[in-house]
Amino acid sequence: MTTPFPFTAVVGQDDLRLALLLNAVSPAVGGVLVRGEKGTAKSTAVRALSALLPEVAVVPGCRFSCDPAAPDPACPDGPHEPGPGTARPSRMVELPVGASEDRLVGALDIERALSEGVKAFEPGLLADAHRGILYVDEVNLLHDHLVDLLLDAAAMGASYVEREGVSVRHASKFLLVGTMNPEEGELRPQLLDRFGLTVEVAASREPDQRVEVVRRRLAYDDDPEGFATRWAGEETAVRQRIVAARELLGQVRLGDGALRQIAATCAAFEVDGMRADIVMARTATALAAWAGRTDVLAEDVRQAALLALPHRRRRNPFDAPGLDEDKLDDTLEQFAGDDEGDGGRDDDPEPDPDGPGGGGQPRPDSGPREGGGGDGAERPETGESGAPGAPGAGEQPAARAAEPFRTKVLSVPGIGEGAAGRRSRARTEHGRTTGARRPRGTLTKLHLAATVRAAAPHQRTRGRSGRGLVVRRDDLRQATREGREGNLVLFVVDASGSMAARQRMSAVKGAVLSLLLDAYQRRDKVGLVTFRGSAAEVALPPTSSVDAAAVRLESLPTGGRTPLSAGLLTAHEVLRVERLRDPARRPLLVVVTDGRATGGPDPVALAGRAARLFAAEGTASVVVDCESGMVRLGLAGRLAGELGGTAVTLDELRADSIAGLVRDVQGTQGTSRRAA
C-alpha cells in the first residue's frame, strides 16, 4: 500500500487545510469543494486527510459499515444483533469521473443470478463511502447521471437501488470532497450547493515557499516511508486535536447575536435558500471547537462566511466566485452587539440604505461603460475605413454585452455516440433502454432479459440440471440506451466594421452570451473564432470552460474589413483537428454575422466556397443573422444555404419568440435551399 503524503507536510494552502479539518471535526458541515489550477496540491491534501480521521466502529461482516451502537434497521445485511463492534480506519473512497452507474450505486450480482438463480445485491461505492469520505477528482467533469445519484444520496443520507428486479435501500452518509480546475468548466448549481464549503487554491508566488514545496516533494518521492516517519509527531498532534474538538463540539454555544450576524450576512449577499445559513452556523461552531472554545465569536462567523458563501452568491456561471470582504466586515459590524440585536454600536453612523442589508449591491457588470450605452447611436454602422488589410483598422472599443436570454434549442440531427450531455440524441451508457444487440468488443452493460431469452431455448441441449441457467458467450446481449450528448459548439463571430455599431454589437454579444449559457447547461464544449481586418483568429480553442469564452467575448473589439472566408476556413481547421482528437463528439457550427464579405478579390465567392466545405462534410450549422435596418440584403440567408444549414434572426433565437418554432439545426440533408 502506498504511503500517503502527510497532511501536515503540505506547504501553505491554509484555507484548504482549515476547510478539510473543519469537516473532520463536524461532518455535518457538508464537505468541501476545492477549486484551483492544476499542480496546487488539491488531491494531495484531500488524500492525506483520511489518515487523520479517527477510526470508526462497524458491525463485523456488514458490507454497509453499520454502527454497532445504532445499526441501520433496514440494512440489507441485517438485522444486526447488539454486540461489540470492530474498529477500522476511516475510508476514503474515490469516485472516478468515468465510473458506471452500477459501480456507484451497486447492482444485481449477475454471476450469482445466472449461476445460482438467486437475486443478490452487489454494493457500490456509495455503500463503501458510508461514514467515510467520498472523493471526486475533477468533479466538474462528472457525468450528469452520476451527479443526479450523488444529489439523491447526499439529500437523503441513503441510496435507493431499483433495477433488474432488485429493490435495495441502504444508509449512505459521507463527507463529499471534490476538486476541480475551473478552466475545464463549472459545476451544476444543484451539486455546487451541496458542498458545504469551497476553497480557491493557487500556487504561491513566493520563491521561498515554492522552494520548500519542491524540497518536500522530492524528499517524499525518494523515501515515502521515511518522510512520513519524520512528520509522524505532527500528524499525531493534529489527530488528537480533531478528537478533542469533536468531543467539545456538543458544548459550543451559538448565541442569538452570532445567529443574527449569520442571517444578516446571507441576506446581504443575496444567497439563495436557507442552506447557506445552516452551513455557516455549523462551520462557525466547528471553528470554535477547533480553537478550543465553547462560544462562537464574530471572527468565527467571518471565517465561516468566507468558506461557505463564495460559491452560493453566483447568479450565473460567468460570475466569478468570491466575497467583497469590506462589505462582509461592514455587515458584521452593523449587526454586532447584544443578543437583542440593537443594530450596531452606539457610535455607528446611520446605516446606508444602499449599503449592506439595504437592498443589496448592483451586479458588477450592471450599468453603462465608457460613457454609457447611449453612444451607440452616434457610431457609424460601417466602420470599415482605415488601411486595407490592417487588423486594427477602424477598431472600436469593446461594446458591453446585452442581457442574456433563454434561447431556442439548437440540436444536431441524427443519433450520435458522443460524451453524455443534454443537447442532441445519442446512444449512451445510460438513459432509457431502447433494445439489445450482440456486444461489439467488451460487454459493458448486460441486457439481462435479452440474454435470458437468447439462452432459454438451448437449456435442454446443454444438459441443464438444477436452478442455474447455462449461459454461453454467444447468449450475452448488450443493452442499447438512448440519452443526450454534449456537442462541440464552435462560434464564428463577425467582429468587422459592419458590426461595429455599438447597439448592434451589444445585441450580438448578448445573443452569443445567451448561447454560451445554453451550452453550459447542456454540457457542451465550446470554441470561439473571430474575424475582422484581414484575418481570423482562434480566440478560444475548444474547451469545457464556457466562462472562459464569455470573458473573451466581453473584451472583443470590432472594426476593419470583413474576411468572412478566413473566419470559415479557420473554423474548418479547428473542427478538423478536434475531429481527430475526439471523433465521437459531433460539432455544431454557429456563425454570427450579417453575411457581408469584403477585402480581397471576389470575397463573396471565396466565402461561398469555404461554406460549401462544411456542407460537403455534413456539419450541422446555423447562421445567426445580425442584419438590421429597413433595407436587408439577405446575405446571411444565402450563407446558410451554402453551409447547408439554417438561418435565424436575433429575435427568432429567443425561446419566447413567436417568429418561429423550436428547430433542429439542419445538416446537408436539411431543408434549406441553396442560394443561386
Place of cell 480581397: 600
**620-625 vs 646-649, strand pairing mode:** parallel
List, in order, residues 6 or more apart from 578 with CB less than 8 Å away.
Answer: 488, 527, 542, 585, 587
Strand partners, 427: 482
Which grid coordinates belong to 506?
451589444
In a 13 Å sphere around the CA of 406, the CA atoms on its Cβ side amount to 4
Angle, vertex CA 381, rays to CA 375 and CA 387, nearest 5: 110
Place of cell 442584419: 627
Classify the C-alpha dihedral 147-152-156-158 as positive or negative. negative
In a 13 Å sphere around the CA of 258, the CA atoms on its Cβ side amount to 24
Instruction: Let me know: does 33 contact 199? Beta carbons within 8 Å.
Output: yes
- How far is residue 58's CA from residue 495's CA, in Å, rounded to a whole number? 64
Task: Give all strands (DSSP E) within 404-555, no chain letters.
Answer: 420-428, 432-437, 478-485, 488-494, 525-532, 535-543
- Exactly one of 210, 275, 314, 379 is catalytic; which is it? 275
What is the residue-wise DSSP string for 21-32?
HHHHH-GGG--E
- How far is residue 246's CA from residue 239's CA, in Å, rounded to a whole number? 11
Instruction: Let me know: does 492 contact 568? Beta carbons within 8 Å.
Output: yes
Q: Based on the number of CB atoms within 10 Å of its own CB, is 656 exposed (0-12), middle (13-18) or buried (19 or more)?
A: exposed
What b-and-e string marks burial along 159-179, b requiring 16 or more CB atoms within 10 Å of the CB?
bebeeeebebebbbbbbbbbb
Q: Based on the number of CB atoms within 10 Å of its own CB, is 537 exposed (0-12), middle (13-18) or buried (19 or more)?
A: middle
DSSP letter for 416, please.
B
- How far is residue 176's CA from residue 279's CA, in Å, rounded to a whole number? 14
Query: What is the SS3 assignment for 243-290?
Result: HHHHHHHCCCECCHHHHHHHHHHHHHCCCCCCHHHHHHHHHHHHHHHH
DSSP letter for 448, please.
H
* Closest residue by Cα to residue 282 from 247, 258, 311: 258
Angle, vertex CA 375, rays to CA 369 and CA 378, nearest 5: 160
Report the chain's terminal Cα–Cα distance, integer Å: 70
- How far is residue 292's CA from residue 241's CA, in Å, rounded to a whole number? 9
674 is catalytic: no
Classify the C-alpha dihedral 387-604-594-632 as positive or negative. positive
- How far is residue 254's CA from residue 404's CA, in Å, rounded to a whole number? 42
Torsion of CA 101, 102, 108, 110, to 10 degrees: 120
**175-180 vs 133-137, strand pairing mode:** parallel
Which residues participate in catalysis according to the annotation? 275
